[in-house]
Chain A
Amino acid sequence: MTWRSPLAVVRDALRGQRAREKDLRNLVSNLPYEGLEKAKQPNRYFLGNAIKTTKYTLLLFIPMNLFEQFHRLANLYFVGLAILNFVPVVNAFQPEVALIPICVILSLTALKDAWEDFRRYKSDRKLNNTPCFIYSRREKEFMERRWKDLRVGDFVKIVCNEIVPADLLLLHTADPNGVCLIETANLDGETNLKQRRVVPGLCISDPEFEPESFNGLVVCERPNINLNHFKCYVEKPDKEKVGAGLESLLLRGCTVRNTDHAVGFVVYAGHETKSMLNNNGPRYKRSKLERKLNTDVIFCVILLLVMCLIGAVGHFLWLQALATVPPYLVPQSTGHLDSPALSGFYMFFTMIILLQILIPISLYVSIELVKIVQIYLITNDVDLYDEETDSRMQCKALNITEDLGQIEYIFSDKTGTLTENKMVFRRCSIMGTEYPHKENAIRLTVLDEAESEEEVIFNQRPQPSRTGWSLDPEDTNPKDKAQPPFSRHKGRVLGNAQGDVAFSSPLETEVIPDRKLLQQISRAECSGRRLTDPYLDFFLALAICNTVVVSMATASRQRKSWLPHHGRTNNPLDTLSSLVKSAGSFCHIFTSGQRKPMQKCSLSEDYFQEEDINPPLKMETNENTNDKKKTRSPSATSDNLSYEAESPDEAALVYAANAYDFILLARTPDSVTVRLPSGEDLVFEVLDTLAFDSNRKRMSVLVRHPITRECVLYTKGADVAIMELLSTPYAEHLSGSQKNIAADTQHHLDCYAKEGLRTLCITKKVVSDKVYDSWSLNRQRAQAAIENREELLMETAMQLETNLSLLGATGIEDRLQENVPDTIVALREAGIQVWVLTGDKPETAVNISYACRLLEEEDLVINMSCKNKLICTSILDSTLEEVRRYGEDPRNVDTTPDISLVIDGRTLAMVLSSDLQDRFVDLAKRCRSVLCCRVTPLQKSSVVKLVREKLKVMTLAVGDGANDVNMIQAADIGIGISGQEGMQAVMASDFAISRFKHLKKLLLVHGHWSHTRLANMIIYFFYKNVAYVNLLFWYQFYCGFSGTAMIDYWLMIFFNLFFTSVPPVMFGIMDKDISAEMLMGVPELYRTGQGTGDYNRKTFWISILDAFYQSLVCFFIPYLAYQDSDIDVFTFGTPLNTISLFTILLHLSIEIKTWTLVHWVVMLGSVAAYFIVTLAYSAICITCNPPSNPYWILQSQMADPMFYLVCIITTVVALLPRYVFHVLRNSIAPSPLTQARHLDRLDPSSRDQWIKEWRSFRGGGHVKRSRLSTPPSPTLETPVDIYPQSPTASDITEDDFTLNVITNYQRPVHTRNKDVVAS
């Protein structure tokens, strides 16, 4: 490299800085500059593709790591103390010894950090050295290089199943349509294939792509973190701009699938890629317990300062009282005695050093250790493992496990969280006629029963197995529970075996057609109007209007394991588990990391050949021949088709269309191939796809009909979004009786919603060519825009989606997940308020809520829905008044029904305004459950924030989708459910579970355990150190406050570091106050942890007081026993030290709830360690540790019976009060936990009996209560508009205002609450 002036270097660096900071980046191909020196490279300012995620470098590890560790205040405190030791005036005898504890702590942490960093380094190196193909101008072909050689502006070829090395703009693929499929599982966990297309109109799809011919300027935005957003355009030499977006971007870390090869232009490399920007490592949150702990540490510091002050003043007074200099006073090094005041001042610091262990140095390390093990235990809990998805519990936030035990409010998403988010087509309404699909419903019921009865059936006599489903309803009696489990279960297993194909279970894929509808279709088929028949259109719309990708079930995808994200390897858990695992696993990683592209590609090439059999071109020939060919090409039977959809309801609709023989065969960006029942394949040219967004709440596909050559817009969407866009009823040519299709359909929609079904409206619109042409111009302009492209695209979409004609509506069932009602009931019994926040309409939401027992039949349901704020205010006020009155009415003490609140998004927006939110929170606080419907993601998070801040409670948000991310991040604990909707929620969460039911064990058992263990351990740590340090403090009163320690320094350090540190850590890890079964069986026990929990001001100060008492006893009993004797300093200290050991350990034994072998080993081991180490030390150390001389002291003490007598009585006196208190409290006023512990020891059968009795005695939540008012008869009228005609607040007076009680709301038929706990 040539020499460059420093100025030029600086200038270049500044320029580079500016180039990176600019909002738009101009990138050109590197090829013309190949081989030139770096200063001439056009893209030299942008980062290369080599990544470095390590925190430290080899040389700077020690200073950097120390710097990192000193961010922790406690470490700084201890280092400060250690330095204080070296200050001469404090007269520390062995300042070096004081360094030992802090050095041990620091080096332990440094060791852990170094190990983690080394793992990061190894994974970085492996990634950086992964081979990839980069185009070289010199060689005129793609050369194999390493990832780290890649730079912005290079051309990269990726072959099938290879991982994308950087963010690439897709320029070319092997596919003639310019399409490439990628799997983003490594990035966001979504397993479905996503389609990416080359930047249109750039490179004509030559069979061979020539990177050298690429001469455009790529203008792209600055790198950002948003995975779903990318804007760029390519400016050709002729100044024509071609827009490109996310659909042309291959993200680093994705895998190319089903595409032979693809060529891309590197736009972002290395740390600027979206995946790296998203890679933030584990989240750091501070738990409630830790926040409290920190204030208590400050209390301890104050206590320490007070004690030191007492020492200093005492020393001053003591010196002052001396008349002359006694022989035992030693002058300072200056040769004369300091004045009492100065000595007192110095003594203050000497005391700080003497009493420093009042602040437990090992506490923070112990907490970290305990949490790591707790997380390890939680993640390895088999009960939290989901077989179906082969996923276990993940802990992403490492230090808030104990918060799980203090949750008071749960905010849950509905879809995908409470429900499976596995959509099953249930019924539809076409042109105002309802097709109930009874047989399908029966099939589902039986499947359901089969699943729930699985275990029972297992032992019953074998049934003749059935292979198919009869259409005859008499044949399939749903009540027949002995129906063999047509296996949903089997389906699951099968699904696992097949890999990751999303919808393999027969539950979702099979739909039994409605016979009436089948007849209707065949009639339409035969009739002449087959091109315009609404029934056919309806199913065409179902098949076309979606973004489902068709893949062959036989061509199963190969999954390649990518290394886990390196940023996350600073998870101590990884460290732990890797320590636990044998070294063999490393070999495994390396071997699995070796790529075998040849083998894998050969597999997929088969697939491509297969698909090439029926390319669209071939089908065009079919299309114009109008004969009804029934022969099907062997490669495309419906059996081996599998659909992959971004949202499960799309797939459900496609499967439904499939059932009526409208088979979606293929989808490319430009065409959709559908096979009609007649057997003919229609190829629709796709003109545009107006993707779904949550503002429009609909999506549309604009196609050109192959026969009529009309432009047809198929739109599907939520009823509110569709109904207002309808034009005059579709098909005036139909008879007059069907004119009111919209009204009929709306009625059906309402009924569907009441059944808890998700509804979608299907519409069609014929667009004239003229309109289309002008619109498409607008559309193109919008697509090329780089500023507010989203808004423009949405606007154009809304321009087209008008005057729609309604075809019909569908009802899709979103099934409840297993054990959801049970879980919700348990959580509620645990004293947790459960709120459900859903985007669904109120009817659907209310029904699901009844089904999952969020609402109970006898509940008082307050329905709030109002149109303006004035009404809202008055309703809120009067409801609040009413609710308060009920609560205070003495007659209602036992009979007060639980109040539930249903509120919709619009009203929620009003009550969240600053003037109403207090009242709303006040009302919501009195409600047992709250259901918010039609809420936006932002509202979800603001509700969580409101409750969290106003009520000062611990909140937990659980959700599965991208719309829950805000809420998950707003809550104290965010839980992501790894379900069907991708991993965004999981990535934002603190804990990730796979099923809602896991929440029960996670909170009730693990949360409770983690909290009690940690709380008790922390309290114990404080107690331990105070009790021990106070011994030294009391001694100061007998040594002229001179700072003498009567215990050898080394033994003091060992005492804290070794003799008494393992038992509390083990206590924090293993103590089980109550068994898991008991905690699950009696959720009420969870309440003990709520609010302040086990660790609060009271327990803290009680333990501190107890520590003071015990230290007084431990000091003064030996003092009185040995006073006036010839005992020397360290002989006096030996029994004190021994007594402390016994007292501290036995104190812990009182606190330990369950004793296992490990407990005994650790306890006895600690005692043995104390005696062995002390004896050895006393035998070896003759002159080693002046001024103390421990030589032979313990030995001589142990030969003296007095030693034992003093130890025994002191230990007993010290522990007697606590012991007696425990015993009396357990006997006289046992806490629920004590009672539960007691029950735990009974044998299981009598325990269950007892729990039942206890529950019924308590009056339980399930005993029928007297009702408040006569229940209104079940109606179908929508409860939404309760106050439709109340214009002002004055209309609502106290007298005529009654709560709207929706008791006996029509219960949905598909409830699954068979597993009721307590009835």
Chain B
Amino acid sequence: MLSAGIVIPGFVVIGLVFIGIGVALFVTSRSITVLEIDYTGVEKDSPCFKCSDPDIKNCGCKVDFSIDTLFEGPLFLYYGLSNYFQNYRQYGASKDLTQLSGDLASFKDPSDVCYPYDYSVQKPIVPCGSIANSMFNDTFKLFHIVKGTRKQVALDGKGIAWWTDYNVKFRNPLVNPLKNAFNGTTKPPFWPKPAYELDPTDPANNGFDNQDFLVWMRAAALPNFRKLYRRISEGEYEKGLPAGNYSLEIAYNYPVLQFEGRKKVVFSNVSWMGGKNEFLGIAYLVIGSLCVVMSVVMLIVYAKFKFPEED
């Protein structure tokens, strides 16, 4: 029943629980370190400024940064795009799920929704559609500068996509070698290489099972998003990046300036609550406190206005 007397304990309990959760969330969020590096190259002093000219192909740039204290691992390396509407209605629809599930019939005859990226010069495009075509193709290499020498930090590109995407939704056709499956098709116009050559280092990481491809294909919900690029979870830097100077080598391919977008690289460690987000903890704290305050108000109301027989 909704009257002050009855709800007071409820408010107190909810308030206290919320404050508890809020504190936990806040503390956890605080423990997460995030390092963001914008490499769009809009500013003149940016090392990637030279690459921001769309006419320059295969541009590379190097961003140096230093870490003061140990950047605790396991670390996640993201690339971030802003003002990029992957959630645009027609864009999100522009893919052929049956084709991506390895159906060879769809290789020959991609779905209409892929238009205008379904055929190129009479040849069906595989993978078809706008999302695949606009796949992010900047690559990053991280170097730890130890006493003047550059030591490459091993980046792990396995398991960055959803398990279900990798194992269920996206399947390469059962053709060996994979290349034959793509006979008679053509690569998306934006791509430098066909799908079966996406990762020259690992033959298993090609075609529709390419992890970067999978990550890209999962369209982001909001125009400012980040996508997982690599993890630093094994080898020497499993425990994190020690303090020191680092250099990030970027193969700058993806044009964003035309739509006033931004590109960045994000280093972050994660906790049970995912990435750094202080909002939720604060929200819990505020609402929890509000509930406690409310219970005090209710107490006053109850004292003043209680029903006569409500003893």
A positions within 8 Å CB-CB of B: 91, 93, 322-331, 333, 335, 350, 1038-1040, 1042-1044, 1046, 1117, 1119-1129, 1131-1133, 1150, 1182-1183, 1186-1187, 1189, 1191-1192, 1196, 1200-1202, 1205-1206, 1209, 1212-1213, 1216, 1219-1220, 1222-1224, 1226-1228, 1230, 1235, 1237-1238, 1241-1242, 1246, 1250
Within 8 A of A (CB), among B293-311: 294, 298, 301-302, 305-307, 309-310
- Which 8 interchain pairs have the tightest Cβ spacing? A1132-B221, A326-B259, A1187-B93, A327-B134, A1183-B97, A1042-B89, A1227-B4, A330-B90
Within 8 A of A (CB), among B83-120: 84-98, 100-101, 111, 113, 115-116
Say whether B273 faces chain A, with CB atoms less than 8 Å apart: yes
Given contacts A1121-B280, A1182-B169, A1186-B97, contact A1227 B302 (CB under 8 A): yes
Given contacts A1183-B97, A1201-B273, A1223-B2, contact A1046 B221 (CB under 8 A): yes
Cβ-closest chain B residue relative to A326:
B259
**Least distance between A1296 CB and chain B CB atoms (Å):** 52
Please state if B93 and A326 are interface contacts (CB–CB under 8 Å). Answer: no
Please state if B225 and A1209 are interface contacts (CB–CB under 8 Å). Answer: no
**Least distance between B122 CB and chain A CB atoms (Å):** 16
Query: Would you list 21 pairs from A and B whose C-beta atoms are within 8 A, ordered by A residue?
Result: A91-B89, A324-B258, A324-B259, A326-B84, A327-B255, A329-B91, A330-B115, A1039-B223, A1042-B87, A1122-B221, A1124-B277, A1125-B274, A1126-B228, A1129-B87, A1132-B222, A1133-B221, A1183-B98, A1183-B169, A1187-B95, A1201-B272, A1212-B287
Task: Give complex CA distance A1126, B283 in Å.
Answer: 21
Contacts of A1044 in B (CB 8 A): 87-89, 92
Task: Give complex CA distance A1123, B4 in Å.
Answer: 37
Residue of A329, A1150, A1182 near B2 (CB, 8 A) is: A1150
Contact flags B228-256 to A (C-beta < 8 A → 1, else 0): 10000000000000000000000000010
Please state if B87 and A1039 are interface contacts (CB–CB under 8 Å). Answer: yes
Please state if B86 and A328 are interface contacts (CB–CB under 8 Å). Answer: yes
Say whether B224 faces chain A, with CB atoms less than 8 Å apart: yes
Please state if B130 and A328 are interface contacts (CB–CB under 8 Å). Answer: yes
Task: Give complex CA distance A335, B115 in Å.
Answer: 9
Cβ-closest chain B residue relative to A1224:
B301
Say whether B21 faces chain A, with CB atoms less than 8 Å apart: yes
Residue of A324, A333, A1043, A1186 near B89 (CB, 8 A) is: A1043
Say whether B18 faces chain A, with CB atoms less than 8 Å apart: yes
Task: Give complex CA distance A1040, B222 in Å.
Answer: 10
Please state if A1182 and B101 are interface contacts (CB–CB under 8 Å). Answer: yes
**Least distance between B211 CB and chain A CB atoms (Å):** 13
Please state if B7 and A1131 are interface contacts (CB–CB under 8 Å). Answer: no
**Least distance between A537 CB and chain B CB atoms (Å):** 71
Contacts of A1230 in B (CB 8 A): 3
Contact flags B1-38 to A (C-beta < 8 A → 1, else 0): 11111010000001000100100010000000000000
Contacts of A1120 in B (CB 8 A): 279-280, 283
Contacts of B227 in A (CB 8 A): 1126
Contacts of A325 in B (CB 8 A): 258
Please state if B220 and A1246 are interface contacts (CB–CB under 8 Å). Answer: no
**Least distance between A354 CB and chain B CB atoms (Å):** 9
Task: Give complex CA distance A1222, B298 in Å.
Answer: 12
Task: Give complex CA distance A1196, B218 in Å.
Answer: 14
B positions within 8 Å CB-CB of A: 1-5, 7, 14, 18, 21, 25, 78, 80, 84-98, 100-101, 111, 113, 115-116, 130, 133-134, 162, 164, 168-169, 190, 218-228, 255, 258-261, 272-275, 277, 279-280, 283-284, 287, 290, 294, 298, 301-302, 305-307, 309-310
Please state if B88 and A1127 are interface contacts (CB–CB under 8 Å). Answer: no
Please state if B89 and A1122 are interface contacts (CB–CB under 8 Å). Answer: no
Please state if B274 and A1202 are interface contacts (CB–CB under 8 Å). Answer: yes
Please state if A330 and B309 are interface contacts (CB–CB under 8 Å). Answer: no
Cβ-closest chain A residue relative to B84:
A328
Contacts of A1182 in B (CB 8 A): 97, 101, 168-169
Cβ-closest chain B residue relative to A1035:
B87
**Least distance between B159 CB and chain A CB atoms (Å):** 14
Please state if B274 and A1206 are interface contacts (CB–CB under 8 Å). Answer: no
Contacts of A93 in B (CB 8 A): 93, 113
Residue of A1127, A1201, A1222, A1241 near B222 (CB, 8 A) is: A1127
With a 10 A CB-CB cut-off, give which of B168, B258, B259, B306 has the most chain A CB atoms.
B259
Given contacts A1125-B277, A1209-B287, A1223-B3, contact A323 B258 (CB under 8 A): yes
Please state if A1187 and B92 are interface contacts (CB–CB under 8 Å). Answer: yes
Please state if A1128 and B219 are interface contacts (CB–CB under 8 Å). Answer: yes
Task: Give complex CA distance A466, B113 in Å.
Answer: 96
Secondary structure dominating the interface of B = mixed
Task: Give complex CA distance A1192, B298 in Å.
Answer: 44
Please state if A1189 and B97 are interface contacts (CB–CB under 8 Å). Answer: yes
Cβ-closest chain B residue relative to A1219:
B2
Contacts of B89 in A (CB 8 A): 91, 350, 1039, 1042-1044
Task: Give complex CA distance A414, B221 in Å.
Answer: 71
Cβ-closest chain B residue relative to A1192:
B164
Contacts of B1 in A (CB 8 A): 1237-1238, 1241
**Least distance between B182 CB and chain A CB atoms (Å):** 20
Contacts of A1117 in B (CB 8 A): 283
Task: Give complex CA distance A488, B108 in Å.
Answer: 93
Task: Give complex CA distance A1042, B115 in Å.
Answer: 17
Please state if A328 and B222 are interface contacts (CB–CB under 8 Å). Answer: no
List 5 extra interface pairs beyond A327-B133, A1191-B169, CB under 8 A.
A324-B259, A1186-B93, A1196-B164, A1216-B290, A1227-B298
Task: Give complex CA distance A1150, B10 in Å.
Answer: 15
Please state if A1119 and B3 are interface contacts (CB–CB under 8 Å). Answer: no
Contacts of A1242 in B (CB 8 A): 309
Contacts of A330 in B (CB 8 A): 88, 90-91, 94, 115-116, 130
Given contacts A328-B130, A1124-B224, A1131-B221, contact A335 B116 (CB under 8 A): yes
**Least distance between A311 CB and chain B CB atoms (Å):** 11
Please state if A1125 and B225 are interface contacts (CB–CB under 8 Å). Answer: yes
Please state if B301 and A1228 are interface contacts (CB–CB under 8 Å). Answer: yes
Contacts of A323 in B (CB 8 A): 258-260
Cβ-closest chain B residue relative to A336:
B116
Cβ-closest chain B residue relative to A1238:
B307
Please state if B301 and A1128 are interface contacts (CB–CB under 8 Å). Answer: no
Please state if B85 and A1228 are interface contacts (CB–CB under 8 Å). Answer: no
Given contacts A328-B85, A329-B88, contact A1128 B2 (CB under 8 A): no
Please state if A1209 and B85 are interface contacts (CB–CB under 8 Å). Answer: no
Please state if B90 and A327 are interface contacts (CB–CB under 8 Å). Answer: no
**Least distance between A254 CB and chain B CB atoms (Å):** 58
Contacts of B95 in A (CB 8 A): 1186-1187
Please state if A328 and B116 are interface contacts (CB–CB under 8 Å). Answer: no
Given contacts A330-B116, A1120-B279, A1183-B97, contact A1227 B88 (CB under 8 A): no
Please state if A1205 and B21 are interface contacts (CB–CB under 8 Å). Answer: yes
Contacts of A1205 in B (CB 8 A): 21, 25, 273, 280, 284
Contacts of A1128 in B (CB 8 A): 218-221
Task: Give complex CA distance A357, B68 in Å.
Answer: 55
Task: Give complex CA distance A1183, B102 in Å.
Answer: 12
Please state if B116 and A331 are interface contacts (CB–CB under 8 Å). Answer: yes
Given contacts A1038-B222, A1127-B220, A1182-B101, contact A1227 B287 (CB under 8 A): no
With a 10 A CB-CB cut-off, give which of A322, A1126, A1183, A1187 has the most chain B CB atoms.
A1126
Task: Give complex CA distance A1219, B3 in Å.
Answer: 10
Contacts of A350 in B (CB 8 A): 89
Cβ-closest chain A residue relative to B160:
A1126
**Least distance between A924 CB and chain B CB atoms (Å):** 40
Residue of A327, A1127, A1150 near B130 (CB, 8 A) is: A327
Cβ-closest chain A residue relative to B280:
A1121
Contacts of A1150 in B (CB 8 A): 2
Task: Give complex CA distance A1212, B5 in Å.
Answer: 20
Given contacts A1192-B164, A1220-B294, contact A1119 B309 (CB under 8 A): no
Contacts of A1126 in B (CB 8 A): 78, 220, 225-228
